[in-house]
């Protein structure tokens, strides 16, 4: 009986694995996308998804100076790449920001409620591999949304459509245990990992390029 070495088996399995990735990719062996092409994927990602990690630095207490990350609901209601964040005022992300912390927002493919169908096909992406799919860090500033019946009505409809359970802590709910409000994240800069570096854009995207990009 012929014995096949572990090294040979590993090499064959690895070659087959890489071949599958190339078959699944929309870009394959073509040129690496430009920053402008990466911006299209970034804008599309932020528009399709609706959950994010808000990353802050604790400003007080025993954990002062430590980074914290919290999953939060957002929706790109205006389709302009500046997502609206439904903020629970007492939550640590908003408290840290209010106390002077800088912040960033992280969004990746798959950041949506489990029962929601979201297209997971991206140029250069590998749908069956989380590491082969796009993710972005958004940096900018918060723009508080003042109470306006028309604006709040639009946001209410937008959030309930994407996050039906958010009706329990919308700012219009007067029996909430904690205050909530909406803010808009005005994106100034983006850092993107579009997937694997042989077929997807990896690097910074300036705010102007990001906002000018179309949504697929």
Where in the chain are the domains? 6-212
CB-based contacts of 121: which residues, under 8 Å, 6+ apart?
A: 26, 127
CB of 180 closer than 8 Å to CB of 144: no
Can you tell me the mean pLDDT for 91-110?
Answer: 96
Digit-coded pLDDT (tens) for 137-169: 999 999 999 888 899 999 999 999 999 999 888
Model pTM score? 0.83
CA-to-CA distance for 56 and 67, rounded, in angstroms? Answer: 6
Domain 6-212 has CATH 2.30.110.10: yes
| Whole-number pLDDT of residue 4 | 53
CA-to-CA distance for 108 and 45, rounded, in angstroms? Answer: 7
| Whole-number pLDDT of residue 20 | 46
> Which of 116, 99, 45, 105 has the alpha carbon at shortest distance from 70?
105
């Amino acid at each position: 009986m012929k014995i096949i070495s572990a090294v040979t088996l590993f090499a064959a399995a690895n070659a087959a694995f890489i071949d599958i990735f190339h078959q699944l990719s929309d870009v394959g062996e073509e040129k690496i996308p430009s920053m402008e092409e990466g911006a299209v994927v970034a804008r599309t990602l932020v528009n399709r998804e609706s959950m994010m990690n808000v990353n802050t630095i604790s400003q007080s207490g025993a954990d002062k100076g430590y980074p914290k990350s919290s999953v939060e609901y957002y929706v790109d209601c205006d389709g302009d790449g500046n997502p609206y964040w439904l903020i629970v005022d007492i939550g640590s992300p908003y408290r840290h920001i209010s106390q002077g912390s800088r912040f960033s927002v992280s969004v990746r493919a798959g950041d949506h409620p489990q029962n929601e169908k979201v297209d997971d096909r991206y140029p250069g992406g590998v749908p069956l591999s989380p590491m082969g799919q796009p993710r972005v860090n958004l940096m900018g500033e918060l723009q508080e949304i003042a109470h306006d019946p028309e604006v709040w009505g639009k946001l209410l409809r937008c959030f309930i459509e994407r996050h039906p359970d958010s009706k329990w802590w919308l700012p219009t709910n007067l029996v909430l245990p904690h205050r909530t409000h909406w803010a808009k994240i005005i994106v100034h800069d983006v850092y993107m990992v579009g997937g694997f570096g042989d077929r997807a854009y990896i690097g910074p995207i300036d705010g102007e390029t990001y906002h000018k990009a179309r949504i697929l």
